Structure 1
Amino acid sequence: MAFGITREELNSWKQRVSQGEIAYLTHYWLEPRFPGITTVTKVGCNDLEKLAAWCRSNGLNPKYIHRRDAYPHFDLIGTKQVEILTREGLHDQIKRFKLLSPK
């Protein structure tokens, strides 16, 4: 379940994904399989080849793309999440979700 974003932010992300853009959406997230992880960044794109290429260029395995979802995406968590958001210049998401603060 996603927390900490507005419907407008979610709809904007969905629209960009549907248009074939690589789109980023960070939100609070609780998943028992990942203790201590409180956020996820969904990197979406409906062009699966483009998204797979994005994964490979970032050292990520495209096999973990969520393909059955209406909005195909790769879930970024942990240090890789901060690394990629930093490289992409998405400092607002890092600051907003306190990704560099000690947990």
Structure 2
Amino acid sequence: MAFGIIREELAEWKEAVTKGEIAFLTHFWFDPRFPDVKTVTKVGCSNLELLSQWCAGHGLDPTYIHNRQPFPHFDLIGTKQKEILQKEKLWKHLKRFGML
């Protein structure tokens, strides 16, 4: 279950993904399978080759891409989420969701 984002943020993410850009959407999240995880970042891109390359470049296995058309994405959680948000210099995501 996702919460903590507004429609405009979601619309901007969807637009960027549809254009074939690498786009980031971080939100609060609850899933009983991951009781200690409070946030997720969805890294989306409609260009699956580009998204696969992005994953590989960050040491992530592209086989875990959720190929859900029209918004394919890779879910970042836990320490890897924070590490990659820092590498990508997405400070607003880190501050807003208490990861700093």
TM-score (norm 1): 0.94
In structure 2, the partner of 1:49 is: 49
Aligned match of 2:2: 2
The amino acid of 1:99's aligned partner reads M
Partner of 2:86: 86
Q: Report what 2:74 is aligned to.
A: 74
State the Cα distance separating 1:70 from its structure 2 match: 2.5
Give the CA deviation at 1:35.
Answer: 1.4
Question: Would you say 1:60 and 2:60 are equivalent positions?
Answer: yes
Q: TM-score, normalized by length of structure 2?
A: 0.97
Percent identity (aligned) = 62
Higher mean alpha-carbon deviation, 24-33 vs 66-75, is at 66-75
Unpaired runs of 5+ residues, structure 1, are: none
RMSD: 0.8
Letter matched to residue 7 of structure 1: R
In 2, distance between residues paired with 1:26 and 1:72? 15
Q: Does 1:23 align with 2:3?
A: no
